[in-house]
Amino acid sequence: MKNNTDKLVEEILRARTRIYKVNKPTPLDKFNLDNIDANIYLKREDLSSINAYKWRGAYNAITMLPKCDLKKGVVAASAGNHAQGVAISAKMLEIKAKIYMPKSTPKIKQKAVEKHGGGYAEIILIGDTYNEASDAALKYAEENQIAYIHPFDNLYTIAGQATIADEVILSGVDNLDYAFIQIGGGGMIAGMCVWLKIHYPDIKIIGVEGKDQDSMKQSLEQGRLVTLDEVDRFCDGTAVRTPGKLCFEFCQGNVDEVITVSNEDICSAIEKSWENGHFIPEPSGAMGIAGLIKYSESHDLTDKNLLTIVSGSNMDFSKLRVIAANSSIGSNRQKYFRFEIGEKNASLLDLINTYFADINISAFQYGKTSDDKAFPVIAFDAEPEAMAELKLNLDQSNINFSDITGDADIQYRIINYNSSKFKNPIFMHIDFAEREGALRELLKNTSKISNICYFNYFYTGEVVGRALMGFEFDDISKQAELIDIVSKSSVTSRLVDDEVLKRLIM
């Protein structure tokens, strides 16, 4: 192992002279996070030409190939960012690159490979996971005697990634107490932990993995390489079942601890990145920030010097919706409660007015299933202290409720209802101003003549809230009266189309 470390140190120094033909050093920014009174340094790899750090290792490894191998071109496998690094390197060196990517690779990363490759990179989509794409790439490389550029388990790749740490050191930061570094296969942390430990002997290296991607954590704990049966792919850039063998060896003795973060933690970190720095990393790119935040909740980091990396920002736009929906859960600001109340007019309004007058409501999920009991699900947004106080008040008032945040029906927004229980129903689209009290006013005005039998609303971040609401009546003649009440209120509305109504109450 000592020989490998000595060789890595030598190659990190040599990598300095190679990789800057591709990109300039990336910025090291000061970063502020609420409730963390520390000096946070953020390495902005998202600001490189490929919006990720993988160009470093890819170019360094490719340029180390003999000229006779370079003429044949190269083969690589990647879930996205390494592919861009290989593509831009192939274009600069004017060699062909075959890049195998999972079929599930985000479109933005496929398009980026094509852009950076400039006709020198060919994408082959195969398999559903990185491992399947890697197996296919390795097979092709062996059969055709073409060099395979590993995304992490290669000494020259690791040395290239280590230049991230080299730039931090050369920036003049006198001392670092902690570094929070995300882990996929381990190439970035392997190079950085060695280089940082040499220059900051007392630094603590904290690896950060996704909760269901923790192959390095398990490997270090068991003292051997561990292969996970499957990995969560929300953070597609770190979805690796087995860490690199060489990466594992460098991490042993240099990484002080590996912690795991949930997808919700990562969504919250992305939200905080936007709020505090006006940048949006991809999920794996925000993993280091998520780890720093989680670690700060159980450790005193006051006045400490902390380093973490925004390792990439190549994310499909469509994923932002999921991130926004989960960010409040990750920061412990949003909870979904399921209540048991009486099925009668104004029962939901009474519950809201009595216990939630000062709490922001971000979602309703309710469908009538019984003549005498109702089970509405309500999501609340509040700071952890206010949320704890709310729970205490509910418990002390003997309100029957349960916390179902994260349950499958919440995750997939399933609303159970029995349309045979509806009495003379009408369904309406309701649009209202996203302000405190807007929905409560509507409920107050309509509860006098109707009962809610269906309610589907969740906050989208717009200034206008949108809900699908079903109202039922003991007397069908009251339907027209309700429509008149709604039309004269501050909301806008329209009846659900007849065909849609048939499907709702069939």
Query: For every one of its 506 residues, what pLDDT tens digit does the chain have, with 9 covering 90 and above?
Result: 567 899 999 999 999 989 998 899 999 999 999 889 999 999 999 999 999 999 999 999 999 999 999 999 999 999 889 999 999 999 999 999 999 999 888 888 899 999 999 999 999 999 988 889 999 999 999 999 999 999 999 999 999 999 999 999 999 998 999 999 999 999 999 999 999 999 999 999 999 999 999 999 999 999 999 999 999 989 989 999 999 999 999 999 999 999 999 999 999 999 999 999 999 999 999 999 999 999 999 999 999 999 999 999 998 888 888 888 777 665 667 889 999 998 877 777 788 888 777 778 888 999 999 999 999 999 888 777 888 888 888 899 899 999 998 898 988 889 999 999 999 999 999 998 887 677 778 888 888 899 999 999 988 777 788 999 999 999 999 999 999 999 988 888 999 999 999 999 87
- Cα gap 129→106, rounded to integer Å: 12
- Cα gap 265→286, rounded to integer Å: 10
Token pair belonging to 504 = 């709702």
Residue 328 pLDDT: 66
User: What torsion, rounded to 10 degrees, do the Cα atoms 129, 133, 139, 140 define?
Assistant: 170
Q: Which domains does the chain have, with CATH numbers?
A: 2-53+155-320 (3.40.50.1100), 55-149 (3.40.50.1100), 332-505 (3.40.1020.10)
Q: Report residue 43: phi and psi, to 5°.
A: -85, 115
Residue 435 pLDDT: 75
Task: Say which residue the tokens 């060695």 belong to.
Answer: 194
Q: How many CB atoms within 10 Å of residue 427?
A: 18
CA distances from 94 to 24, 27, 73, 97, 119 (A): 20, 29, 9, 10, 10
Token pair belonging to 423 = 């009495």
What's the pTM? 0.81
Beta strand residue intervals within 137-256, DSSP E: 147-149, 178-182, 204-210
Residue 432 pLDDT: 86
- Cα gap 164→172, rounded to integer Å: 14
Angle 269-275-280 from CA coordinates, rounded to 5°: 60
Q: How many CB atoms within 10 Å of residue 158?
A: 32
Q: Residues near 109 by Cβ (< 8 Å), separated by ≥ 6? A: 79, 80, 81, 83, 84, 101, 314
> Measured in Å, how far apart are the chain's first and last C-alpha atoms?
69
Q: Hey, is 328 helix, strand or coil? A: helix
**Inter-helix orientation angle 438-446/478-487, to 10°:** 150
Q: Hey, is 239 helix, strand or coil? A: coil
CA distances from 325 to 197, 381, 471 (A): 39, 12, 27
pLDDT in tens, 20-72: 988 999 999 999 998 899 999 999 999 999 999 999 999 999 999 999 999 99
Task: Say which residue the tokens 């050369």 belong to.
Answer: 170
Q: How many CB atoms within 10 Å of residue 91?
A: 18
